[in-house]
A and B are shown apart, each in its own frame.
Chain A
Amino acid sequence: MKKISLSSVLSQLLLLFFVIVWIIPTFGLFISSLRDKDLLAISGWWTALTTTEINEIYRMSGMEAQIEEDGYFKIKGKLFEENSGKKIESFGINSKKINEFKIGDIAIFKDESEVILDEDGNYEWRSKSEFQKKKGKRLFTTSLSPPSFTFENYREVLFKEGIGRAFINTMAVALPSTLIPLIICSFFAYSLTWMRFYGRDTLLAIIIASLVVPLQMSLIPILTIYNDFGALFGVAAKSYPGVWMAHTGFGLASTTFLLRNFLKSLPNEMMEAAKVDGASHYDIFLRIIIPLSIPAFASIFILQFLWCWNDLLVGLVFLDQVPSEIILTAKLKELLGSRGENWEILTTGAFVSMTVPLFIFFALQRYFIRGLVAGSVKG
């Protein structure tokens, strides 16, 4: 018995190891998206719950701010915002000795002016003679910042960086790109299963052959068609209807294939009985097929929707990269180039783009897995 429990403990540990390795990247992204951007830039997300030491450089105000008081010329001010929560530990007036003074010490500059500083960043700079320079002197501070979480990054990303609009664009791409193939393929699959006509088997063979054609084969000719079409009618060649139809085209073979496999499993007697009662194919389709196919539709819908939502290539080739058309993945890629150092924007943007897939994943996991297992044939 002892041996079994040992191996059970070992397998639990091994599985735990896998789980931790798999969850950490996403978890780190999520934590980072909620952190204050200044802290994010200088400390790892795993230190998010600890106090962080920050070294900063501030410049005091210049001569315009000076007042005369008690025989001194004084400049008073604040180095940073009141509610930032930062507490200054030490400061310096020289970049070589940034920790020279403690709070409460009087630091004396070469020109004999002196400065005192409190831990909240309030300073008083005074001199016997009048200040002459437009720019104030620099202070080097070392402060401790408590853990700080904020939704500020989300507000910034959604409304200022254009991710909010890209989110809507992606929805406007993905929803029709899922529903249109579902509509036309369900009729197509129905006719391939339940209608008799010349060339049916050939058509089915063509569908199956189309499954092996990779997306890349279609890109250049379709782009040419779109450009010619645009030039002919004088409209923007790349736009939403174009991208819907492209997604429909690329998802058509696999959607039809899956739906046909499902429809084939329905009992033939039911259709025959309905036909005898005088129902047309359309009646049968609406009253019998659709209600019976809801679970299959759900799986295929989720699969195709996630595929369109997560797609980059089709959105890149068939949409203009302008704010009113750019999709989330393309926007993220753009931000990776232009804001590569601004991790608060990247992590938050990535997390926003993941919200819909994650919601679908957790809410509809069963259908997702079923569709994935059945639909692993997409070309």
Chain B
Amino acid sequence: MTILNLLFIVFLGILFFIAYFHISNYLLDSYGGKSVKRYNIENSIRVIVFIAPAFIVLFVFILYPVFETIRLSFYDKFGREFVGLYNYKWAVNDPEFRRSILNNLVWLLVVPTLSTFFGLVIANLADRIWWGSIAKSIIFMPMAISFVGAGVIWKFIYEYRGPDNTQIGLLNAIIVSLGYEPQAWLTIPIWNNFFLMAIMIWIQTGLALVIFSAALRSIPKEMLEAARIDGASELKIFFSIIIPYLEQTILVIWTLITIIVLRIFDIIFAMTNGEWQTGVLANLMYDWMFRGGGDSGRGSVLAIVIMIGVIPILAWNLYKHRQEQKI
């Protein structure tokens, strides 16, 4: 496809939707309004015109797939024969699946906790320093770039050369200058997971930071002033006033990052592709979508496991969100 063709298709695609709404509404406008009956017909048609595209997309891309994925999880790899709980039994007994679940759990414990913690500390520091907003910008920046881009950035940091060569990876250069042997960090099982998590923490801290920054402003200044006059140290204020005051926000951010981490795929796919025992559920699922011509049964089971993990956390988060809006 040439670039000119591509440009044409893009233009056409966008124009199609604008034209759909404009033409159908134009026709309705010229039809209705002449009598009460016509007005009513016009209104009910217009509801359909407004809703139809979004609803069709919602149905095809979200609603139908949810039920289809649940159905497929009880069928064989081609989705033809009913196999009962076979795929679920396979998952429970599969060492790769267990490894992925375990890795996912470690990710869930480490990444949201550390990102939230760093975000809170940095927000608190930056709030009191004149160049704080520049600092916040810099720490927030990784949020804008892709996981794959971040993967390349960090793969360069972890780059390994044999002991006789000059190290061009920053981490190994530091290790060597301290007198240790260079390491191929991403290939050391167990520990490599933490090197991958560092990337995610590097990205997500920015998210926690901006939300905390906004929340910090809601703490009454008088309360902090009073504590300072009473001689409380900054550390004491942080633990005894700020953390209790921001408890709700901390929980919201923690769950937010948890949801992102539950679906983590790109970083591991780009960095290790799940080798050296770094696989997580989303990667295993992608793998089974195509491995051996694809196994829709096993892939579906894995998707369902991810969804079961996400639902309670996101539901709680939404509930909180709505509660806040009501207040």
Contact = CB atoms under 8 A, between A and B. Distances in A.
A172 interface: yes
B147 A18 contact: no
Contacts of B137: 365
Interface string A11-47: 1101110110011111011001000000011111110
B233 interface: yes
A85 to B, nearest CB: 19
Contacts of B79: 224
Contact of A212 (B7, B14, B282, B315): B315
Interface in A182-239: 183-185, 187-188, 190-191, 195, 197, 203, 206-208, 210-225
Given A191-B47, A210-B62, A217 B141 contact: no
B138 interface: yes
Interface stretch (B85-93, B102-110, B120-128): B120-128
A40 B138 CA distance: 25
Given A245-B57, A369-B210, A379 B14 contact: no
A45 B302 CA distance: 42
A257 B152 CA distance: 34
Contact of A15 (B43, B129, B285): B129
Interface string B18-49: 10010001101100110000000011101100
Given A176-B10, A220-B303, A191 B62 contact: no
A313 B266 contact: yes
Contacts of B125: 11, 14-15, 18
A329 B304 contact: no
Contact of A213 (B147, B169, B307): B307
Contacts of A311: 146
B201 to A, nearest CB: 10
Interface in A155-175: 165, 168-169, 172, 175
B1 A325 contact: yes
Interface string B50-93: 11011101101111111011001000000100000000000000
Nearest to B205: A22
A324 interface: yes
A354 B139 contact: no
A333 interface: yes
Given A32-B156, A42-B168, A216 B306 contact: yes
B327 interface: no
Nearest to A255: B54
Interface stretch (B216-224, B239-247, B317-325): B317-325
A285 to B, nearest CB: 8
Contacts of A304: none
Contacts of A12: 129
B185 interface: no
A246 to B, nearest CB: 7
A373 B249 CA distance: 12
A191 B53 CA distance: 12
Contact of A312 (B26, B51, B147, B214): B147
Contact of B269 (A15, A210, A248, A312): A312
Contact of A190 (B50, B129, B167, B282): B50
A368 B144 contact: yes
Classify chain B: how many residues form its interface, as a range.
35 or more
B310 interface: yes
B61 A218 contact: yes
Contact of B170 (A16, A44, A213, A282): A44
Given A211-B314, A223-B289, A184 B54 contact: yes
Contacts of B129: 8, 11-12, 15
A357 interface: yes
A88 interface: no
B53 to A, nearest CB: 4
A252 B310 contact: no
Contacts of B29: 280, 282-283
Interface string B111-153: 0000000100110011011001001011111111111110111
A206 B170 contact: no
A188 B50 contact: yes
A192 to B, nearest CB: 8
Interface in A291-326: 306, 309-313, 316-317, 324-325
Nearest to B125: A15
Interface in A321-351: 324-325, 328-329, 332-333, 336, 343, 346-347, 349-350
A29 B141 contact: no
Contact of A191 (B1, B51, B145, B153): B51
Given A221-B68, A280-B32, A206 B58 contact: yes
A67 interface: no
Contacts of A349: 152
Contacts of B214: 373
Given A175-B10, A208-B318, A221-B72, A282 B28 contact: yes
B159 A179 contact: no
Contacts of A180: 13-14, 17
B296 interface: yes
A294 to B, nearest CB: 17
Contacts of B167: 44
Which of B50, B66, B151, B154 has the most chain A CB within a 10 Å cutoff? Answer: B50
A360 interface: yes
Interface of B: 1, 3, 6-7, 9-10, 13-14, 17-18, 21, 25-26, 28-29, 32-33, 42-44, 46-47, 50-51, 53-55, 57-58, 60-66, 68-69, 72, 79, 118, 121-122, 125-126, 128-129, 132, 135, 137-149, 151-157, 159, 165-170, 173, 202, 205, 207, 210-211, 214, 233-234, 256, 259, 262-263, 265-266, 269-270, 282, 285-286, 289, 296, 299-300, 302-304, 306-307, 310-311, 314-315, 317-318, 321, 325
Given A22-B142, A224-B68, A350-B148, 10 more contacts: A180-B13, A210-B63, A216-B302, A223-B289, A249-B60, A250-B61, A310-B145, A343-B159, A346-B156, A377-B321
5 tightest A-B contacts by CB? Answer: A249-B61, A310-B146, A188-B54, A350-B152, A282-B25
16 contacts: A32-B156, A183-B21, A206-B63, A214-B310, A216-B302, A220-B299, A240-B6, A240-B10, A241-B9, A280-B42, A310-B147, A310-B148, A324-B6, A350-B152, A377-B321, A379-B310
